Structure 1
Amino acid sequence: MVSTEIPTLVRDDVSSVGHLLFDAAAQHADRALLEFRGRAISFAEMAAAAEHVAATLAGRGVGKGDVVALYFPNTPHYPVVFFAAMRLGATVVNLSPLDAARELRFKLTDTGARVLATLDQQPFGVQARALLDEGLIDLLLIGSDEYWTGSGSLIAGSGQTMSLDAAIVTPATCPAAKCASHDLALIQYTGGTTGTPKGAMISHSNLRSAVAMFDEAIAAGSAWRRGEARHIGVLPLFHIYALAGVMLRAVANGETIMLRDRFDAEQVLDDICRGGANFFFGVPTMFVALLECPDIGDHDLSSLTLCVSGGAPLPGEVANRMAALIGRPPIVGWGMTETCGAGTLGRVGDKSPPGAIGHPLPGASIAILALEGERNPVAPGTVGEIAISGPHIFGGYWNRQEESASAFSGHHLLTGDMGYADADGQIHLVDRMKDLIISSGFNVYPRVVEDAIYEHPAVAEATVFGAPDPYRGEIAVAAVKLRSDQTLTLDGLRAFLADKLGRHELPARLDLHDQLPRTAAGKLSRKELRDASMQKAGGHG
């Protein structure tokens, strides 16, 4: 078992997540919390906006224990309503811009959320008004996408529809509700890669513990001083990785987020070179896109003092190319919705071997459990299921007692990820248990195959998934996006991989794509590719 002691700043009596913003505003009133479309929004302005919205919601009967749904892209409206809900002691449920109408209905019905906040732009406004017309919500707060640039007019509200922007500018006070550390702050739905999405119940203590754990790990190995970071804000705020790792951390430490509507590689380069950004939390596809910029060599990226890759394994070739640009490889971390995005993190300055995802964050305990039998811890170097415990671990799934109980072994959360611990206590991720391919009786780990494919000079992006095969049971399918003006055949790929992989690991099929599908967090989606492959096979059967 691998664990790290947690500092005393993570306690059972931590206050509401909402206090993070209001405490920071008292200390750093005029400092910019957000820079968005050329506008700086101070801590004081953000805190005032959140309190005004909280007062408006309180006037409509919203209070402690109610569920407020947030349906936003990256926008300053998101933290405004998030912290307004926290001030009231309400619970937030995040809705994804990628959710289909059926998924939106399910999440609202499952959580009982009767209040929804969103923007009057596609697809948000149309979807939200449809939900209101269907009687799925009682109150709709809707804001203008142009509000923060001053170029839009306030949206008129009436009846069950209220102007979010009018609430922001209407002075009012709202006392903070008293919350216990175990009170529910967030219902965060898992990606739903299999079956119906499950709502992870996350407390105020869970979120604040995750923030403290990240901070302690980063401070231990870098020259970072609290209050000096300028964060690149391209991860979606509705995702747990950005919510805890970027937004809440920046707020807690009095730091600035350069918030962007979406990821754009050229914009990120400009934010680093001209905007002074020095912290970048991203996912592997973002680093791949940066490396594909034709003028990447003309940019000086050495100002990045912290570069973290999470959400999916970072291919070794991508890490090496990034290291050549910024003088050090990105730090690799691992976490999941149920851990508030916090789990492991590489040590600043260390070059981790391929597949390594770092050491447990301070306060986390990780055990590698046998895949079969009694599920006892296994020896270092032996592959098993990664199980994790700590103050950041969620309290179970909303309305799913049986699945909540089966998610744990003792106090440890069963993650569904396969990995092993080395002699130094560093954790190595092998793959997701559900993504394991069994071909002719042999285990094939998609991540291992992907790492090898990324070494091919023609490959820009790649992911590997299993497809049914009547003879071998399953085969490995390589889905590849090529670099510009490059070609690749299955025979050519297999020849390139022949000295890198076992014969049973070689892809049996190559699918070339102009673009590979992504999840809401920007990760490549094996599920979407696998589902499309199954549908195509069924259609030709």
Structure 2
Amino acid sequence: MDVSKLPNHHPVPWNTTFEPMALPAMFARSTRAAPDAPLLHFLGRSYTYDELFRDAQAFAQALIRRGIAAGDRVGLFLPNVPSYVVAYYGAMMAGAVVVNFSPLYSVEELEQQVADSGTRLLVTVDVPELYATAEKVLRGSALRTLVVSSLAEMLPTFKGLAMRVLGRKKIARVSHDESVLAWREFLTRGREGKAALPEVDPHSLALLQYTGGTTGTPKGAMLTHANLSINAQQTAGLNPFGDPAHEVFLGALPFFHVFANTALLNHAVVTGAAIAMVPRFDAGQVLKTIEKHRATGFPGVPTMFQALLDHPALAKTDLSSLRVCISGGAPLPAPLRDKFEAATGVRLVEGYGLTESSGVISTNPYRGTRKPGTIGQVVMGTEVLLLDKEDPSILAPDGEPGELALHGPQIMQGYWNRPDAATDVFVEHQGKTWLRTGDVATVDEDGFLEIVDRIKDMIAVGGFKVFPSQVEDVLLEHPGVKEALVIGRPDSYRGEAPVAYVTLNSGRETSGADLREWLNARVGKHERVDEVVIRDELPKTMIGKLDRKALRAEVLD
């Protein structure tokens, strides 16, 4: 489809070309332009571009002294804290590849992805749950080094002191040794380093971002510096409000998520903007942060906007600084959009992206023409095709829905150590390589895309992706469970909620409630099911395979 000939409602022309930059060079450019400008506001303390850039350089030097070489993997097992920003850019300054790990991961999930990625050094924070998980993985895997940052040290002086004195239960007791290093000492050693930092090729690998792709097995999407820096520039090109350096983004999305990596962190850095960051989403704290720091933009997931609507302080909060809110990660229900805009007077637009596309593919315009119910128009330099739903080697018939396929400078290079998986998601058409999304879409005469179905079985829970097969595998470990299928049920708050349907082995008796309790103790928080339904049988295909599609149609219809 020739997007260049369709109407463009974004402020920057579709055919704009962007400079592929290494992320350290992008950070350096903004730091030189305004070294004393704030990059982060965090719980009462502000960090300037220069301060964080120098810390990132020290982190890079410390990595090199530790033996980390170009191409080695450095993992981040962190919530939204300043040490994430330092470690993210610092690892890349050393030529290393960052691997994002969700703080929601269990020991088993983190251990599996550390092994798959070959992560050598992991950064975490002294929050008891995170440190305990990371320390177990360190002792039971090939991981060599754990660097532990201090939450109290990242707070304003008096808040940090109060936390050390009054909040000791919220601080893990870290057992430092030759493989468990304190953040402050690690950076101090780095400041003594004299090694020349490598010149990073914009087309080299920058980030491994794990995703389920089109199957239930997590795979590391390989994103280059060029992929990420261009997608940040594409996102910045959506802004119609003037000087972007004066923007303040509300940072509630978790940085380990690809949406936040592009729409928050790299977007802010490429434009010189600031982020008013919270360590985790709390509706009351978010409202206070918006008001205190005069936030101008808020990228989030639908559950966040629903939580703000439900909070009693919303009506009393001054939101006049907010120009736009952008919803992604899951479909935005029309009633939620309408209620939010009526209650706040702030425009809430829906966008779309994938891990494999560095985070952002399309959005409705922040001003002017928009089409509710669509995911908007594609960002600059991005092309789309609609493929036949049954045969991706041919295009969908004219005027009919098809599988959305994408081509653009932000598309990943493939999956880490999984060329077989990449073969399944890339297809050749018109002399170009296209990424199959697994989502069925339509496109109108103005180039607005609407997702009408999905081929993938993934369940979108509050912006996170849950892979049914993984939850099913855990259920099948229960001695009473014979068969299991997990599907997503529409949920007004989270978008979808996982629900399990099982049959039992002969002679085994248990209840759905007991199975739910047993299962939820063994999976990640976002994977926990709302209900386990026991049935005499589950639908199967003609060859006897469990039929998730038939179950979904039966239950949801």
- TM-score bin (small chain): 0.7 to 0.9
Given candidates 419, 428, 436, the residue that maps to 2:450 is 428
Q: Deviations over 1:262-298 (max 9, x none)?
A: 1111222222233211110000001111111224233
Q: Deviations over 1:67-89 (max 9, x none)?
A: 11111111101011111111011
Given candidates 239, 244, 250, the residue that maps to 2:262 is 244
Once the two structures are superposed, the pairs formed by residues 351-370 of structure 1 within 5 Å of their partners are 352-370=370-388
Alpha-carbon distance in structure 2 between the residues aligned to 1:538 and 1:112:
44
Given candidates 12, 25, 35, the residue that maps to 2:31 is 25
User: In the alignment, is residue 10 of structure 1 matched against residue 26 of structure 2?
Assistant: no
Alpha-carbon distance in structure 2 between the residues aligned to 1:405 and 1:539:
35
1:3 alignment partner AA: V
Q: Deviations over 1:143-192 (max 9, x none)?
A: 11111124368978431222212233453455331222221101100157
1:60 alignment partner AA: R
Give the RMSD, CA atoms, in angstroms. Answer: 3.2
- CA shift, 1:61, in A, is 1.1
Alpha-carbon distance in structure 2 between the residues aligned to 1:266 and 1:465:
27
Partner of 2:203: 182
SS class of match (1:106) = helix
Q: Deviations over 1:322-354 (max 9, x none)?
A: 222343531211001000111111112246444
Partner of 1:196: 217
Partner of 2:252: 234
Partner of 2:135: 129
Equivalent pair of 1:144/1:155 in contact (CA under 8 Å): no
Partner of 1:533: 532
2:25 alignment partner AA: H
Q: 1:114 to 1:348 in 2, by over 3 A?
A: same
- CA shift, 1:249, in A, is 0.9
2:496 alignment partner AA: T
Partner of 2:298: 280
Aligned residues: 468
- CA shift, 1:256, in A, is 0.9
Alpha-carbon distance in structure 2 between the residues aligned to 1:131 and 1:7:
47
Given candidates 325, 332, 354, the residue that maps to 2:350 is 332
Alpha-carbon distance in structure 2 between the residues aligned to 1:288 and 1:163:
39
Given candidates 155, 173, 179, the residue that maps to 1:160 is 179
- CA shift, 1:9, in A, is 4.9
Once the two structures are superposed, the pairs formed by residues 17-416 of structure 1 within 5 Å of their partners are 17-149=23-155, 150=157, 151=160, 157-170=176-189, 171-172=191-192, 174-191=195-212, 194-218=215-239, 222-350=240-368, 352-373=370-391, 375-378=393-396, 381-410=399-428, 411-416=433-438
- CA shift, 1:7, in A, is 5.5
- CA shift, 1:254, in A, is 1.1
Q: Deviations over 1:34-81 (max 9, x none)?
A: 011110111111011111111111111112011111111111010111
Q: 1:388 to 1:38 in 2, by over 3 A?
A: same
Equivalent pair of 1:72/1:118 in contact (CA under 8 Å): yes
Equivalent pair of 2:295/2:322 in contact (CA under 8 Å): yes
1:10 alignment partner AA: F
- CA shift, 1:430, in A, is 1.5
SS class of match (2:104) = coil
Q: 1:366 to 1:9 in 2, by over 3 A?
A: closer
Q: Deviations over 1:402-423 (max 9, x none)?
A: 1111111111100011111012
Alpha-carbon distance in structure 2 between the residues aligned to 1:180 and 1:98:
32
Q: Deviations over 1:450-471 (max 9, x none)?
A: 5xx86xxxxx56637787799x
Q: 1:7 to 1:64 in 2, by over 3 A?
A: farther
Q: 1:294 to 1:187 in 2, by over 3 A?
A: same
Q: Deviations over 1:454-497 (max 9, x none)?
A: 6xxxxx56637787799xxxxxxxxxxxxxxxxxxxxxxxxxxx
Q: 1:110 to 1:260 in 2, by over 3 A?
A: same
1:45 alignment partner AA: E
Alpha-carbon distance in structure 1 between the residues aligned to 2:334 and 2:186:
49
Equivalent pair of 1:346/1:352 in contact (CA under 8 Å): yes
Alpha-carbon distance in structure 2 between the residues aligned to 1:350 and 1:328:
14
SS class of match (1:178) = coil
> For structure 1, which segment, 371-380 or 418-427, has the greater mean C-alpha deviation from structure 2 after superposition?
371-380
Mark the runs of 5 or more structure 1 residues left unpaired by the alignment: 438-445, 455-459, 471-515
Equivalent pair of 1:328/1:349 in contact (CA under 8 Å): no
Equivalent pair of 1:70/1:93 in contact (CA under 8 Å): yes
Alpha-carbon distance in structure 2 between the residues aligned to 1:469 and 1:375:
36
Once the two structures are superposed, the pairs formed by residues 486-497 of structure 1 within 5 Å of their partners are none
2:83 alignment partner AA: H
Partner of 2:472: none
Equivalent pair of 1:282/1:308 in contact (CA under 8 Å): yes
Equivalent pair of 1:54/1:174 in contact (CA under 8 Å): no
TM-score (norm 2): 0.77
Q: Deviations over 1:83-120 (max 9, x none)?
A: 11110111011111111111111111111111111112
Alpha-carbon distance in structure 2 between the residues aligned to 1:73 and 1:436:
24
Alpha-carbon distance in structure 1 between the residues aligned to 2:306 and 2:130:
29
- CA shift, 1:528, in A, is 4.7
Alpha-carbon distance in structure 1 between the residues aligned to 2:373 and 2:222:
30
Equivalent pair of 1:331/1:347 in contact (CA under 8 Å): yes
1:355 alignment partner AA: G
Alpha-carbon distance in structure 1 between the residues aligned to 2:414 and 2:381:
19
1:198 alignment partner AA: K
- CA shift, 1:217, in A, is 2.3
Alpha-carbon distance in structure 1 between the residues aligned to 2:58 and 2:66:
13
Alpha-carbon distance in structure 1 between the residues aligned to 2:529 and 2:175:
43
> For structure 1, which segment, 153-162 or 391-400, has the greater mean C-alpha deviation from structure 2 after superposition?
153-162
